[in-house]
C-alpha cells in the first residue's frame, strides 16, 4: 500500500473527514434520543439523502453493476422493483410512521413502536423484534464489510483479512462516537459523492466505446442475449427480482430516517428529492455495468479483475478511465456507499440492544449517559460478530444482502404497513406475522424451492398470519383505537 499514491491520499482524506463529522455529531449527542434518532430534527434534504444512502449500500456500486455486466439488461428487473417499492414506502409509510412513533410514547426503534402500538406489557413483541433485527442485521453488516474489503483489496493490493479490518475501521469509529447525527450527516455527503460517481463513470465509458450506438452494437456483437430482458431467466425469476421492492417497508435502517424527520411536513419534499436521487443512482449503476461489457470487449487487457470477480466492474472502470486523483474520488464513492449503509446497520443493532433489551427489559432506570455509552459498546460488539461472518473471502455481496433484505421485508414489512392502515390489527396478529415471516424466509432460503425469492412466500404468509391472528383475537382496546385515530388526524396532505 503506497501512502504517497494519489488514490491512497484521497481515501485517507475522505475517511478522516467522515471521522471528523463523527466527532461533530458527538457534540450534539446528549441523550439516547439524540444518539438513536438525532433528536428528531432532520430536514428534508438530510432525511432524503440519508434514507437513500443508508439503503443503497456497496451493492449499488458493486453488486448491481456486476449483475448487469454478467447478465445484461435482464439484471435491471431488480432496479425496477426497488424503485416501485421505495416510492410506495415514501408515499404510504413515511408520514404515518413519523406521526405514530411520536405519539406512541416517542418510540425510538421499531421494537419500541410495536410494543407501544399494541400495548404489549409482556415485552415479548419487543424482544422478538429485537432478535430479528440482530440476526438479519448482523448478516447485513457482514455484506457491507465484504464490499469494503473488496474495494481495499483491489485498489491497494491488500490481503483480504487486512482489507476487511481497514475498510470497517473508520465506519465503526464515527458511529461509535457520533451516533445518529454523525450517520445522517455523513450519509448526506456520501449520497452526493455516490451520485457524482455513478453519473460520470458510465458517460465516460460510453464515450470511450465510440458513443451510445456503437457501444450497444458492440454489446450485440459480443453476446446478443445481453440485450434480452428475459435472457437466462423465467417469469418466476422476473417476479423474484421485482419482489425486492416489497422489502422496503420492513427495513429498520430506512424506516429510522422517516422517524427522525423534523416533522411530517418534511416528508413530501424529502420524497421528491429521495426518489430523484434513487432513480439517477440506479440508472448510473446499471449503465456502468452494461456499458462495461462494450468497453472491456474493446480493451480486454484491462478486464482481468472483472473476469475474476464481476462485482468489481465499477472499481475497474474508475481505475482505467481516469487519472489516479479522479479515480480516488470516484472510488471514494464506492467507499461512501459501503460506509453509509454499514453505519446505519450498526446503529440499528445498537439501538435494539440498548433501547429494547437493556433499557426495555434489564435496566429501565438507566440514565441517559449510561444508555448512550451502552449503545456505543454495542456498536463494537456487533462489529466483531459481523467481521467474523465476513471473514470468508468467498462471500458474495448480493447473496448476503438478499438474505437480510428478505428477512426484514417479510418479518417487519406486513406489520409496518398493516399497523399503519388497519386499526383492527392486534398484538397476537403482530406476533404471528413476525414469526411466520422470519421462519418462512429461513426455511425457504435453505430449501430454494422453484427458484422463487424467499421474500414472496415470506411476505405473503406473514400478511395472512397478521390478518388471521388479529381477527381471531379480541378487538383492540379503546386506547389503541384512539391513538390510531390521533395518528390519522396528525397527517398532512402529502
> How confident is the model at residue 26, as a pLDDT?
62
Residue 137 has pLDDT above 70, yes or no: yes
The arithmetic mean of pLDDT across residues 403-413, rounded, is 91
Alpha carbons 318 and 325: distance in angstroms, whole number: 11
Selection from 100, 384, 434, 451 nearest residue 241 by Cα? 451
Residue 98 has pLDDT above 70, yes or no: yes
Tell me what the pLDDT averaged over the chain comes to. 86
Q: 248 and 417 in contact (C-beta within 8 Å)?
A: no
Q: 492 and 266 in contact (C-beta within 8 Å)?
A: no
Query: 146 pLDDT band (50/70/90 cuts)?
Result: confident
pLDDT in tens, 100-136: 999 998 888 898 899 999 999 888 998 899 888 888 8
Cβ neighbors of 364 (< 8 A, separation 6 or more) are none
Percent of residues, the chain, with pLDDT higher than 90: 44
The arithmetic mean of pLDDT across residues 302-310, rounded, is 87
The arithmetic mean of pLDDT across residues 363-387, rounded, is 81
Residue 19 has pLDDT above 90, yes or no: no
> Looking at the domain assignment, is residue 465 inside a domain?
no
Alpha carbons 323 and 273: distance in angstroms, whole number: 31
> Looking at the domain assignment, is residue 327 inside a domain?
yes
Residue 376 has pLDDT above 90, yes or no: no
> How confident is the model at residue 446, as a pLDDT?
83
Alpha helices in 425-477 (DSSP H): 427-447, 455-471
Selection from 486, 481, 488 nearest residue 423 by Cα? 481
pLDDT in tens, 175-210: 666 666 666 777 788 788 889 999 999 999 999 999
> Looking at the domain assignment, is residue 343 inside a domain?
yes
> How confident is the model at residue 311, as a pLDDT?
83
Residue 292 has pLDDT above 70, yes or no: yes
Residue 469 has pLDDT above 90, yes or no: yes
Q: What is the CATH number of the domain that holds 272?
A: 1.20.1730.10
pLDDT, greater one: 102 or 155: 102
Alpha carbons 66 and 401: distance in angstroms, whole number: 14
> How confident is the model at residue 276, as a pLDDT?
96
DSSP result, 275-320: HHHHHHHHHHHHHHHHHHHHHHHH-GGG-HHHHH-GGGHHHHHHHH
pLDDT in tens, 356-374: 878 877 788 888 788 878 8
pLDDT in tens, 34-68: 666 666 777 888 888 888 877 776 678 888 999 99
Selection from 243, 245, 254, 242 nearest residue 94 by Cα? 254
Q: 11 and 329 in contact (C-beta within 8 Å)?
A: no
Residue 322 has pLDDT above 70, yes or no: yes
> Looking at the domain assignment, is residue 145 inside a domain?
yes
**How many domains does the chain contain in total?**
1
> How confident is the model at residue 399, as a pLDDT?
67
Alpha carbons 118 and 72: distance in angstroms, whole number: 46
| Crossing angle of the two packed helices 455-471 and 427-447, in degrees rounded to 10 | 160
Three state DSSP letters for 81-100: HHHHHHHHHHHHHHHHHHHH
Q: For residue 162, which phi and psi values (nearest 5 degrees)? A: -70, -40
Residue 214 has pLDDT above 60, yes or no: yes
Selection from 56, 58, 57, 76 nearest residue 67 by Cα? 76
> Looking at the domain assignment, is residue 427 inside a domain?
no
Selection from 324, 320, 289 nearest residue 302 by Cα? 320
Range of the domain at 286: 6-235+264-393
Residue 493 has pLDDT above 70, yes or no: no
| Crossing angle of the two packed helices 397-411 and 124-156, in degrees rounded to 10 | 160
pLDDT in tens, 417-449: 999 999 999 999 999 999 999 999 999 988 877
The arithmetic mean of pLDDT across residues 342-362, rounded, is 77
Cβ burial, residue 339 (10 Å; 0-12/13-18/19+): buried
Percent of residues, the chain, with pLDDT higher than 70: 90
> How confident is the model at residue 29, as a pLDDT?
63
Highest mean pLDDT among 53-57, 146-150, 399-403: 146-150
The arithmetic mean of pLDDT across residues 243-257, rounded, is 91
Q: What cell was used for 21? A: 463529522
Query: 393 pLDDT band (50/70/90 cuts)?
Result: low
The C-alpha cell 468467498 sits at 394
Alpha carbons 458 and 403: distance in angstroms, whole number: 12
The arithmetic mean of pLDDT across residues 449-470, rounded, is 94
Query: 3 pLDDT band (50/70/90 cuts)?
Result: low
Alpha carbon 199 to its chain centroid, in Å, reads 20
> How confident is the model at residue 314, as a pLDDT?
92
> Looking at the domain assignment, is residue 467 inside a domain?
no
> How confident is the model at residue 180, as a pLDDT?
63
> Looking at the domain assignment, is residue 425 inside a domain?
no
The C-alpha cell 429501565 sits at 364
Cβ neighbors of 28 (< 8 A, separation 6 or more) are 34, 38, 39, 181
Residue 461 has pLDDT above 90, yes or no: yes
Alpha carbons 35 and 175: distance in angstroms, whole number: 9
pLDDT, greater one: 470 or 52: 470
Alpha carbons 477 and 462: distance in angstroms, whole number: 23
pTM, two decimal places = 0.86
Amino acid at each position: 500500500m503506497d501512502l504517497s499514491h494519489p488514490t491512497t491520499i484521497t481515501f485517507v482524506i475522505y475517511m478522516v473527514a467522515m471521522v471528523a463529522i463523527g466527532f461533530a455529531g458527538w457534540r450534539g449527542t446528549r441523550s439516547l434520543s439524540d444518539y438513536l434518532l438525532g433528536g428528531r430534527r432532520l430536514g428534508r434534504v438530510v432525511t432524503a439523502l440519508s434514507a437513500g444512502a443508508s439503503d443503497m449500500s456497496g451493492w449499488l456500486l458493486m453488486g448491481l453493476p456486476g449483475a448487469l455486466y454478467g447478465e445484461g439488461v435482464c439484471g435491471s428487473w431488480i432496479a425496477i422493483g426497488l424503485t416501485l417499492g421505495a416510492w410506495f414506502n415514501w408515499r404510504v409509510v413515511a408520514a404515518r410512521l413519523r406521526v405514530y412513533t411520536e405519539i406512541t410514547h416517542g418510540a425510538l426503534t421499531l421494537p419500541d413502536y410495536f410494543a407501544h402500538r399494541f400495548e404489549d406489557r409482556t415485552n415479548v413483541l419487543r424482544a422478538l423484534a429485537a432478535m430479528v433485527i440482530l440476526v438479519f442485521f448482523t448478516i447485513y453488516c457482514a455484506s457491507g464489510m465484504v464490499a469494503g474489503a473488496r474495494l481495499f483489496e483491489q485498489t491497494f493490493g491488500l490481503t483480504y483479512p487486512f482489507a476487511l479490518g481497514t475498510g470497517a475501521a473508520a465506519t465503526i469509529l464515527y458511529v461509535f462516537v457520533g451516533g445518529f447525527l454523525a450517520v445522517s450527516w455523513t450519509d448526506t455527503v456520501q449520497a452526493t459523492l455516490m451520485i457524482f460517481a455513478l453519473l460520470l463513470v458510465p458517460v465516460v465509458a460510453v464515450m470511450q466505446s465510440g458513443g451510445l450506438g456503437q457501444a450497444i452494437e458492440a454489446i450485440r456483437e459480443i453476446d446478443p442475449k445481453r440485450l434480452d430482458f428475459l435472457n437466462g431467466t423465467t417469469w418466476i425469476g422476473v417476479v423474484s427480482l421485482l419482489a425486492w421492492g416489497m422489502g422496503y417497508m420492513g427495513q429498520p435502517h430506512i424506516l429510522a430516517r422517516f422517524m427522525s424527520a423534523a416533522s411530517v411536513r418534511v416528508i413530501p419534499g424529502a420524497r421528491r428529492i429521495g426518489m430523484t436521487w434513487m432513480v439517477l443512482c440506479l440508472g448510473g449503476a446499471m449503465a456502468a455495468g452494461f456499458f462495461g461489457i462494450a468497453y472491456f470487449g474493446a480493451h480486454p487487457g484491462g478486464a482481468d479483475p472483472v473476469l475474476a470477480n464481476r462485482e468489481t466492474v465499477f472499481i475497474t472502470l474508475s481505475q482505467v478511465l481516469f487519472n489516479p486523483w479522479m479515480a480516488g474520488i470516484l472510488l471514494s464513492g464506492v467507499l461512501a456507499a459501503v460506509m453509509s449503509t454499514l453505519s446505519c446497520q450498526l446503529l440499528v443493532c445498537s439501538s435494539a440492544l440498548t433501547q429494547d433489551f437493556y433499557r426495555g427489559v434489564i435496566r429501565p432506570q438507566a440514565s441517559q449517559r449510561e444508555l448512550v455509552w451502552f449503545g456505543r459498546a454495542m456498536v463494537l460488539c456487533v462489529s466483531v460478530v459481523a467481521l467474523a461472518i465476513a471473514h470468508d473471502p468467498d462471500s458474495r455481496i448480493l447473496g448476503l444482502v438478499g438474505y437480510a433484505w428478505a428477512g426484514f421485508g417479510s418479518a417487519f414489512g406486513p406489520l409496518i404497513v398493516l399497523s399503519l392502515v388497519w386499526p383492527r390489527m392486534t398484538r397476537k396478529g403482530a406476533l404471528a406475522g413476525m414469526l411466520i415471516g422470519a421462519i418462512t424466509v429461513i426455511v425457504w432460503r435453505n430449501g430454494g424451492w422453484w427458484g422463487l425469492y424467499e421474500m414472496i412466500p415470506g411476505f405473503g404468509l406473514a400478511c395472512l398470519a397478521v390478518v388471521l391472528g388479529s381477527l381471531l383475537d379480541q378487538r383492540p382496546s379503546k386506547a389503541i383505537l384512539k391513538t390510531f385515530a390521533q395518528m390519522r388526524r396528525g397527517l398532512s396532505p402529502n
